[in-house]
Chain A
Amino acid sequence: MGASRSALLPLDEEKSICSETGFTPKQLRRLYVRFQELGKRNPACEFLTREELLDIREVALNPLGQRLVDVIIEDYGEANRINFKQFATVLAQFRRGKAITDLNTKEKKLLFLFSIYDRNHDSKIDRHELLGILKMMVGGNIHDEQIATIADHTIEELDSDGDLTITFEEFCKTLIRIDVDEKMSMKFLN
């Protein structure tokens, strides 16, 4: 009777992940169910790959979908895949609630956003990376030269130390007026 889910998360693993991420046991179990769901093409495998994440319709449709998946797999996983603990860790940064651990801080959210731009991991957003993001958001609607102009002027405006790149601090400055903590927090249902 009813659907039988695959094996549950071992209790000691559950406890350790809970204490590191700040999720409640119920939230974590639900996340584990979701993790299994996403990886259902290879039920024996304990990892999620880029393709499995991109299989989610809303992610495939999202203009930044590819980039988001890149950040998750490359920055938080290893060898092009991510296991459950890493999966929970990256999502814990967006958990709405008190900061029980130091994961769901505003700083971490800002870093995540920054890494969406900064794909060569040199802690700076250069013109090329900015162009990349703008192109993803806008698609084929604007000519490349126009996007380039927007990118150039944006860098000029935001770059305060004159090296024609946007550092993390400069990036955060532009986000002062936006309540990143609020806008990037998600409610994890029990």
Chain B
Amino acid sequence: MMITTAQVFTIISIICAPMVGIAALVLTLAALNLSLGIRRLYVQLLALIFDYATKIKRDKEISIDSNASSDEPPTPLPPSTAKNKLAPTLEKKNEDNPAEKTNSSIHSFDRRSQDPLFNSALLLLYNSSLRDIIDCTRQGLEAIVDDDVTKRFTSAEEMVVWNLLTRTQQQHEYFSMRVTLLWFLGFCVRYFILFPFRLFLFILGVLWMLGSAVFLQYFPAKDAKLRFGFYINIVLHRILSRVFSAIITIHNTEHRAKCGSICVANHTSPIDVIILSTDNSFSMIGQQQGGFFGMVQRTLSQTANHIWFERSEAKDRHMVAEKMREHIQAHNNLPILIFPEGTCINNTSVMMFKKGCFEITEATIYPVAIKYDNRFGDAFWNSSKHELFQYLILMMTSWAIVVDVYYLPPMTIEEGETSVDFARRVKAAIAKQGGFVDLEWDGGLKRALPKADYKAEEQRKFYEMLKTE
């Protein structure tokens, strides 16, 4: 039977109709900033499934462990008696020594030309230096086992509740048919249902962006253009956030960044920008790139004033600071969005803020803490492990991205405060709000060796301690 073109068209339109319908729905919701709450229900359902899977796993593990422990013989006694043998000898020596000591101290009093007060001070000094030596040793050993810095750059601890993604487990153990089945089901849902749908939304987002750029290019009035640009930008990002099934909860919206200020946030993933832009429009700042990304940059520049500078200018910190200052001082320019850590951190801590943007004293800084919930998808981008493209695919095949955004009250630099101190103050505020560990480590350590003066600083601290004792 020959299939006529009419029939082909009907088939295509039947397939496309739901797609188009959903697209229209998503666009409307994005434009009106409404949510049907479907994503939240979905996430709650997922949480229940994960708990069920983990319960199965735990039950299995308990049975395996109890088998193992019954095989082990009871702890043999000899080791502990050996320890006791040593202890008495140590104690005995201690008993003998006081007597010896008094003898030797009388003897050595002749040797000493200084006064006893000096010597007891010396002993105190020796003891505290010994404590330092012990601490140093222990810290060195801890670093060998697992140093703080690499801990922040690798994905956070294995989760207590497994979320049916093998990427979050170091070894996939086959322990139960039911759980493996669940995992397989989840795999199919994620890759064959969710992924195509998200890809479609992504294309929709890109089309929206291009369409709006063309639309705005022919728009006459400058002021209206900026206002339209603001709303178009937000709608675009709302569509994009649905691409990742992002469930965003924003706290303290009264502290949303205003025009002519700088917005500062901790950095975990390239998606941070999308998340923040669903609620507010920002001016981006960065190097002018070539290729596809360069085109994106030029398109974005249609909708708002962004700060793009040439590669040669990027090295000149003063020029960058100048451009930022100009931007802030024009009143209806959007707030500049900056991630002062300089690189992606795994959302358990906040690393040292680069002081660059804090040197602009006229600026009001609006800090923002972004906290991801890892249960439904780990948003951290480990750039040494995944390329950007690979990372985006991973994000689009995760369950969902659940994120809490906390707007913090604005801060300005105080009298006599250096930019480094100000940066530290802002960092502490963000760390406190997000429940992150506040680390002094430099994000640049991810790629480069630490500065030589840090070791000198450690030595200087020890010297100071010696001086004051």
Binding site for B on A (CB under 8 A): 1-3, 5, 8, 31, 33-34, 37-38, 53, 56-65, 68, 72, 91, 94, 99-102, 105, 107, 112-113, 116, 133-134, 137-142, 150, 153-154, 156-158, 160-162, 169, 172-178, 180, 183-184, 186, 188-189
Contact = CB atoms under 8 A, between A and B. Distances in A.
Nearest to B466: A138
Given A3-B385, A56-B147, A178 B138 contact: no
Contacts of B28: none
B450 interface: yes
B144 interface: yes
Interface in B124-153: 125-127, 129-150
Contacts of A176: 94
Contacts of B93: 169, 173
A188 to B, nearest CB: 7
A134 B165 CA distance: 52
A86 B170 CA distance: 24
A162 B104 contact: yes
B97 A100 contact: no
Nearest to A136: B459
Contacts of A174: 126-127, 130
Contact of A57 (B138, B145, B147, B466): B147
A169 B91 CA distance: 10
B190 to A, nearest CB: 11
A49 B119 CA distance: 42
A161 B104 contact: yes
B126 A154 contact: yes
A101 B114 CA distance: 47
Contacts of A59: 140, 143-144, 147
Contacts of B323: none
B123 interface: yes
A91 to B, nearest CB: 6
B459 A138 contact: yes
23 contacts: A31-B145, A34-B145, A37-B150, A38-B144, A56-B143, A57-B450, A59-B143, A59-B147, A102-B83, A107-B83, A112-B137, A139-B462, A139-B463, A140-B459, A150-B125, A153-B114, A156-B111, A161-B104, A173-B94, A177-B127, A184-B138, A186-B145, A189-B157
A141 B462 CA distance: 9
Interface in B36-94: 75, 79-80, 82-83, 86, 90, 93-94
Contacts of B387: none
Contacts of A140: 459
B117 interface: no
Contacts of B127: 174, 177-178
Given A158-B126, A178-B130, A61 B107 contact: no
Given A60-B450, A63-B458, A2 B168 contact: yes
A158 B120 CA distance: 11
Residue of B79, B101, B149, B445 most packed against chain A (CB within 10 A)? B79
